[in-house]
Structure 1
Amino acid sequence: MNNDKILWINGKFLSAPVTGVQRFARGMCKALHEKGCQLKILVNRDHDREFEYGELVEIGKQKGVLWEQVELPRYLKRCGNPFLLNFCNVAPLIYSRNFIVIHDLAVFDHPEWFSKRFSFWYRWIIPKLVKKSQLATVSGFSKTALVNKFNLVSKDILVLPNGVYFDKSNFDENISVESPYILAVGSHSPRKGLGQLIKAFSKADLPNVNLYIVGSGSHHFSGIEKLNTERIKWVEVINDAKLCSLYRGCKVVVQPSFYEGFGLPILEGLFFKKQVLANDLAVFRELFGNSIKYTNTLDTEVFSKDLTDIYYSDNKNTIPFPEHLSFDKSASKLLQNLNN
């Protein structure tokens, strides 16, 4: 497939709150668009109308699962059954020409972290999709998980790592924050480890430091109990400019997750030359190596001490940014795969 050919994309992600999965889809579309690809992004009536990286084609009257599983494949068949790129875990099951990026298998390993309805749906549809689709994922960790779970051939799964979607010039000068502060970015899902972070932060020797937690809740996730104190700031609705500003102004980025397929806030923290403290997960070691500091978030005493130590250490991160983790490189890899 040459760059001047049309790429058809499942645009359901433009109707959802922006978490790491949706940011991956946006970043891939942006990179493909900048490489000269013609993108036909198929969307429902509730899509983000400001997205500018491709032609937005509004189809159907439904939204959500009905739109994706009924109206989307029906429209594609009328258009001659083009190859469909699905960047967010799921694709229309009755359609036969799917490329799917499955980010992780958390819903299989820990269904208790998700709503019963969401867990049932993903655990039902994904095994059926992997048998009839071309697959990709975002890390070697997730690739191994897919191979082991579904008895797949490793070489048949493409690894397309995340990148940073925004640039350093995109920031909001008017954002109001109480400095100094530590920053955590993640949805309000139990797997994000925010409860453990709050416990460790409360015990840490950081008397004049605030903790900003950026991310929203979702009916798809089991909830976490919020602890509201003067030093813990919950920020749920935020645009890219404000998020960039929070990254720029923080002293440390913390990623306390128990399970991830990638760990995008770590990459974004490194992009802004910040010290990063993360739970010691295999996927983080694979992707970020010695660029960040590791802790055990399940041990509150250890986590608290490590949080204090990294805060008071030299916060100028001089470790080179991992340039191999970029949407530009992942888009090139995808195009090469499609050409072959």
Structure 2
Amino acid sequence: MRIGIDTRLQNETGVGRYIRNLITYLPQLDTKNEYVFINPDIKWHTLEEQIKMPAVLNAYNLDLVHIPYFNVPVFYTKPFVVTIHDLIVNEYRTGQASTQNVLVYGLKRIGYQYSINHAVQKSCAIIVPSHATKDKLIELYPRVHRNKICVTYEGVDLKSANGKPSESEGKQLTANSRITNNKFFLYVGNAYPHKNVETLLKAFAQLNNPEIQLVIVGKKNYFTDRLTHSIKELDIADRIIFPGEIPDAELAWLYKHAQALVLPSLMEGFGLPALEAMQFRASVIASDIPVFHEICQQSAFYFNPFNVDQLTALLKDITSSAKKSDMQKKKDFGEKRAREFSWKKMVNETIKIYNTCL
């Protein structure tokens, strides 16, 4: 069977890590099928994509195509598998489109809804990264055939995953930023509205501890710029660090030395940073949403993402070691839990899905 993989987003964060691992392990784990990695110079989420991609895909004479994102070309008529990583756009303004005027954003929303509805209805299989996402998909698209929704958990692949993060990486990181000690909380991800970073900032301000810093790792854009206004209003600018996007080895060092990773999201499809933190025995403070309970289970401290005081209380407990015994138990559980997730396992499960499609 000749299978094509749309790899155009492989250099992005999030979905890019998924694609990179997929195309790395597919040829290693499956020698029966032939894989073609397709990366034309066509921008995703555009009209050009919808017009040109069907012809591009047809030119490869494929038996099956895997579109690893919701942006399926609606005029492509041959069998395809789609990965829907989350359904956040259905419920929250997110991404670059949400920075545009109301009319343009409205048109983008209509295009998204049409594209994802086509993907849900016409695909021979839908891959999702969690049961929480599967449940949300069924809730939003009740006509979908439930037996074609397949959950394949993602994995962990930080460069320092199999060893102790290098202290040299830490020295490099601290030299290039204002991180002064190991007394810092960590946030990893973008600053889209559903990430609820504002709640974290308010809770951190209420912590009112000048010795503690908050490190926010992620791509700087319109949304992080918007956070700076809140940071100034809360008078915490001297304790907030924005290192931007950093190498995996430096991120591993941050996980290892942080007081805790804090994830205040209102909705997620999987929650890879939580898994990464667990593997490095970092404490995890996560919002009380289904996907974090599914992935982290007993390894995280949970809080109501709409309750700033509740999060502040957890931050204080972590810094004061009030939950030291509980923290160690959760770290032990988290480290063990993280070992259950593997990119190779995910790819093997994906191969089985391909084979059931034809």
TM-score interval, smaller chain: 0.7 to 0.9
Q: How does 1:163-202 map to 2 (within 5 A)?
A: 163-168=155-160, 169=163, 172-173=169-170, 174-176=172-174, 177-179=179-181, 180-202=183-205
Question: Which 5+ residue runs of structure 2 have no aligned equivalent?
Answer: 99-104
Q: How does 1:150-169 map to 2 (within 5 A)?
A: 150=141, 151-168=143-160, 169=163
Write 1 or 2 for the structure with the bigger share of helix: 2
Task: Give the distance between the partners of 1:26 and 1:154, measured in 2 at CA.
Answer: 28
Q: How does 1:128-139 map to 2 (within 5 A)?
A: 128-133=118-123, 134-139=125-130
Q: How does 1:264-275 map to 2 (within 5 A)?
A: 264-275=272-283
Deviation at 1:195, TM superposition (A): 0.6
Task: Give the distance between the partners of 1:95 and 1:209, measured in 2 at CA.
Answer: 53
RMSD across aligned positions (CA): 2.5
Deviation at 1:305, TM superposition (A): 0.7
Is 2:318 the counterpart of 1:318? no
Deviation at 1:10, TM superposition (A): 0.5
Deviation at 1:163, TM superposition (A): 1.2
Task: Give the distance between the partners of 1:212 and 1:329, measured in 2 at CA.
Answer: 32
Larger Rg: 2
Residue identity matched to 1:140: H
**In 2 relative to 1, CA 7–79 (structure 1 residues): closer, same or farther, beyond 3 Å?**
closer
TM-score (norm 2): 0.80
Bigger mean CA offset, 298-307 vs 106-115: 106-115
Match of 2:311 in 1: 303
Deviation at 1:223, TM superposition (A): 7.4
Per the alignment, in what secondary structure is the counterpart of residue 230 of structure 1? helix
Task: Give the distance between the partners of 1:12 and 1:199, measured in 2 at CA.
Answer: 38
- Which of 325, 345, 351 is equivalent to 1:329? 345
Q: How does 1:63-102 map to 2 (within 5 A)?
A: 63-64=43-44, 65=46, 68-96=49-77, 97-102=79-84
**In 2 relative to 1, CA 295–306 (structure 1 residues): closer, same or farther, beyond 3 Å?**
same
Bigger mean CA offset, 140-149 vs 165-174: 165-174
Deviation at 1:272, TM superposition (A): 0.9
Deviation at 1:208, TM superposition (A): 0.6
Residue identity matched to 2:118: K
Deviation at 1:44, TM superposition (A): 3.2
Residue identity matched to 1:306: L
Deviation at 1:101, TM superposition (A): 0.7
How many corresponding residue pairs? 317
Deviations 1:225-278 (A, max 9, x none): 322511111232323232223222322111110111111111111011111000
Bigger mean CA offset, 22-31 vs 192-201: 22-31
**In 2 relative to 1, CA 322–205 (structure 1 residues): closer, same or farther, beyond 3 Å?**
same
TM-score (norm 1): 0.84
Residue identity matched to 1:290: Q
**In 2 relative to 1, CA 110–223 (structure 1 residues): closer, same or farther, beyond 3 Å?**
farther
Question: Which 5+ residue runs of structure 1 have no aligned equivalent?
Answer: 46-61
**In 2 relative to 1, CA 259–278 (structure 1 residues): closer, same or farther, beyond 3 Å?**
same
Task: Give the distance between the partners of 1:212 and 1:331, measured in 2 at CA.
Answer: 33
Per the alignment, in what secondary structure is the counterpart of residue 110 of structure 2? helix
Match of 2:213 in 1: 210
Q: How does 1:261-300 map to 2 (within 5 A)?
A: 261-300=269-308
Per the alignment, in what secondary structure is the counterpart of residue 161 of structure 1? coil
Overall identity of the aligned pairs, in %: 26
Is 2:143 the counterpart of 1:143? no
Match of 1:22 in 2: 16
